Amino acid sequence: MSRTRLSMLLVVVLAATAMACGLGGGPGSVIKDFYKKIDRGEVSSAMESLSQTARTQFGDAMLQPGLSSLSETTRSKGGIASVKITQEEVHGETATVSFLITYKNGTTKTDSEKMIKEDGRWRIAASK
């Protein structure tokens, strides 16, 4: 096998592996990324993970303090040690992701979020 073909095969295998591990931008990876940003206090950046519908429904003026409070609560628990996706159900352009957050103080929280695909990207579809 030529070097070019071998290199192309390696790229395809690595890309498939990344997708299988949730590194391809699936709904679960959006949840993990959202909580990493909350953990670091990057509230404005975390807001980008929310659907446009949620942002319109609640308004940034309401979301910003809510996410800031979530970030403060996370810090009060020593930060996030891990976010484990326990279930991911995808149905076309919507999904439900269940997850377990483990905080550095040893406490845990089980939660789930509904997701929606907007412009080809998964976003958190927060609702009232």
Under 8 Å between Cβ of 25 and 121: yes
- If you write DSSP's letter for every residue of 35-78 in order, what string do you get? HHHHHTT-HHHHHTTB-HHHHHHH-HHHHHHHHHHHHHHHHHTT
Nearest to 104 by CA among 63, 73, 61: 73
Radius of gyration (Cα) for the chain, nearest Å?
A: 17
In tens digits, the chain (128 residues) has pLDDT values of 555 444 433 333 333 333 333 445 799 999 999 999 999 999 999 999 999 999 999 999 999 999 999 999 999 999 999 999 999 999 999 999 999 999 999 999 999 999 999 999 999 997 65
Give the architecture-level CATH label for domain 25-124. Answer: Roll (3.10)
Give me the residue spans of the domains in the chain: 25-124
Res 8: pLDDT: 38
Copy the structure tokens of residue 76: 């009060």
Res 126: pLDDT: 79
Q: What's the predicted TM-score (pTM) here?
A: 0.79
